[in-house]
Amino acid sequence: MAQTEKTVEEKMRELYSLQEIDSQIDEIEILKGELPMEVSDLEDEIAGLDTRINRLSATVKELQQEISRHEANIAESEQLILRYEDQMNNVKNNREYEALMKETEMQRLEIQLSDKKAGGAARELEAKQGTLSATQERRDDKVKLLEVKQEELKSIIAKTEKTEKKLRRQSEKQRKTIEDRLLRGYDKIRKSYRNGLAVVTVERNACGGCFNAIPPQQQLEISQRKRIMICEHCNRILVDHNINEEVPAE
Ligand SMILES: [Zn+2]
């Protein structure tokens, strides 16, 4: 079963192709990875605002009830004063008159007190209503944003599901073309970097993974594609950026 040994160049191309496929899968993961978090953060924030709105609404209602209570007290006192004034017109003696005067005076003081309390409550009510409507506005904005993000996430999932499956199949297929030893190295390097890059190109005389400069002699060797070259700073596999093209003639 004679199988022609692959050239280093072919191996490098295969590894680089695998990297390109896997990087596309990583991109999908990143896209999905951030949106669900944003959505759940917004949901938490809205729940917090809802609690605040409920509390503020309850306070507003209490203050409105308090103001009504003071107003009712004032009305009651005014009624009493009218009655006392009526009675004063028909008093039998001075003592009775004095007593009614005193009662009237007391009701006037009651009215003043209720008026003051009602005024205080009204000022507090105005402030709370201001905070309440600002909070409601903020909540409405967050709900709108949440709807946008949810739509975005839904469409990403709908759009990427097929692509992701296809890419994963491609990745599996591509892996089968690569020898185990290289694959193990690739997986190990890929796992050790958050950006998942194990095979990188040389860009502007530097490693495309860690951006450290690559000496000219090493660059020459990379472009000759005779040996698999590793970046001495980050251990990533280096390929020249024209890897999919033929080596330019001397
Ligand atoms: Zn490097």
| Per-residue pLDDT reduced to its tens digit, 154-207 | 988 888 899 999 999 999 999 999 999 999 999 999 999 989 999 999 999 999
Examine the domain organization and report whether 50 and 148 are in the same domain: yes
Q: What is the pTM of this model?
A: 0.56
CA of 20 to the centre of ligand 1 (A): 17
Alpha-carbon distance of 216 to 219, in angstroms, equals: 5
202: which DSSP letter?
Answer: E
Examine the domain organization and report whether 149 and 49 are in the same domain: yes
Which residues share a beta bridge with 230? 237
Examine the domain organization and report whether 45 and 18 are in the same domain: no
Domains in the chain: how many in total? Answer: 2
CA of 193 to the centre of ligand 1 (A): 11
CA of 53 to the centre of ligand 1 (A): 53
* Confidence at residue 248, expressed as pLDDT on a 0 to 100 scale: 59
Which residue, among 201, 197, 181, has the nearest Cα to 189 in the 3D structure?
A: 197
Of the residues 159, 187, 214, which one is the last residue of a structural domain? 159
Examine the domain organization and report whether 138 and 151 are in the same domain: yes
Q: Which helix (H) or strand (E) holds 13?
A: helix 8-88
CA of 28 to the centre of ligand 1 (A): 24
CA of 229 to the centre of ligand 1 (A): 11
Indicate the pairing of strand 199-203 with strand 237-239.
Answer: parallel
CA of 80 to the centre of ligand 1 (A): 93
Which residues, 6+ apart, have CB-to-CB distance to 51 below 8 Å?
none
* Confidence at residue 156, expressed as pLDDT on a 0 to 100 scale: 85
Over range 18-39, report the average pLDDT.
90
Examine the domain organization and report whether 16 and 105 are in the same domain: no
Examine the domain organization and report whether 81 and 134 are in the same domain: yes
- Quickly state the pLDDT bin for 2 (edges 50, 70, 90): very low
* Confidence at residue 127, expressed as pLDDT on a 0 to 100 scale: 98
SS (H, E, C) 30-53: HHHHHHHHHHHHHHHHHHHHHHHH
**Residue 66 pLDDT exceeds 50:** yes
Helix (H, G, I), strand (E, B) or coil at 199: strand
Examine the domain organization and report whether 130 and 196 are in the same domain: no
The residue range of the domain holding 81 is 33-159
CA of 26 to the centre of ligand 1 (A): 20
- Quickly state the pLDDT bin for 238 (edges 50, 70, 90): very high
Q: What is the largest CA-CA distance in the chain?
A: 136
Alpha-carbon distance of 40 to 29, in angstroms, equals: 17
